[in-house]
Amino acid sequence: MPREALCGARVHVAGKLVEGYCVVVENGRIAAIVAEAALHRSVRRRELAGGTLAAGFIDCQVNGGGGILFNDAPELEALETIGAAHRRFGTTGFLPTIISDDIEVVARAIDAVRSAIEDGVPGILGIHIEGPMLAPSRHGIHDPRFFRGADRAMLELVAKPGPGRRLVTVAPEIVGEAAIRELAANGVIVSVGHTEATYDEARKAFAAGVTGVTHLFNAMSGLVNRAPGVVGAALENQHAWCGIIVDGVHVHPAMLRVALRCRPIDRFMLVTDAMSPVGTEMRSFNLQGREIQVGIDRCVDENGILAGSNLTMGQAVRNVVGLLELPLSDALTMAAAAPADFLGLRGRRGRIAVGEAADLVWLDEDVKVGATWIGGEEYREGEL
């Protein structure tokens, strides 16, 4: 892949937006970050029309897109379609997410992700197994008939070695500390979610190896004066990464603004929890036998229960600026560097830095996605 310099846009580097620099890409990686005036004339220039050049977004919770739900089609071809749908909105890396289902469906999903990574499907970094080791009292849109404890078959399946990252969401009061330690020792990234755990149980889970919180505030014991719950334990913890769905529906913006004042910005990561309608005009879809209606800002079943979202990472970034009143630089950190660090990819993805993969996104002056690059290969089907 020939050397090319991307110039003409502000560049998000080390958590700041800087002017007058070019990002040089070669062989799928970032080769240099140089002042425009110092760029050697032999390097081919690619002029961007202002805006911002940032590290590509990484989404750890993608249930579907392009009209396909991963649970319905745990297959390589489905992953190609889902990835292409989200790429339009700046997502250059993601974890296809399988929600609570039969163990055979979970196994097929793991195999599909393995095949996709081996075949080089752009953007797939691993898999997120959200359930079925969850609390029935906090099932949300998950079907409790699929729930199970941390039995040997499930633990061995989740911990089975394979390419890419393996993330699992569990309720700590259901699986216990020993199972969390076992999963973490086998290289599985463990997150808590869909849980009724107490504050003390959540703290013990963090000590046992939990490093993430799945969609903070949603489907978990809340913050009460004499019962801090999972939310209290998460806000107090300064090291675990908290996924947040910034759509103005899942969590009131004021609650997120309070949360952001409790912990470092780079320990929050944007997730979409996106369902099949992303990138389509679908107004409804089927989820494990239930009809889900798709509105402008939400996906709900007949009882008004939220069923994931129709959110994109591009819109989530804009919402951080508009709803949470944070600078764009912070939004970009939460969309790329934070999830990359959570997945153990620091130094390889998530930042514009020499040696990292050339996974990039160009945003225009309205913070709309105009182009993405995965491994230096450009895709122009953006939001514009």
Which residues, at least 6 apart from 203, have a Cβ–Cβ distance to it below 8 Å? 233, 237
Cα separation, 198 vs 228, in Å, equals 7
Residue pair 92/121 in contact (Cβ under 8 Å)? The answer is no
Write out 35-82 in H/E/C secondary structure: EHHHCCCCCEEEECCCCEEEECEEEEEECEECCEECCCCCCHHHHHHH
Cα separation, 57 vs 336, in Å, equals 5
Cα separation, 108 vs 113, in Å, equals 9
Q: What share of the chain is helix, strand, coil (3-state, %, to 5)?
A: 30, 30, 45
Catalytic residue chosen out of the listed positions 247, 273, 359, 364: 273
Round the CA-based radius of gyration of the chain to a whole number and report it. 20
Residue pair 371/77 in contact (Cβ under 8 Å)? The answer is no
Cα separation, 28 vs 374, in Å, equals 8
102 is an active site residue = no
Residue numbers annotated as active site = 273
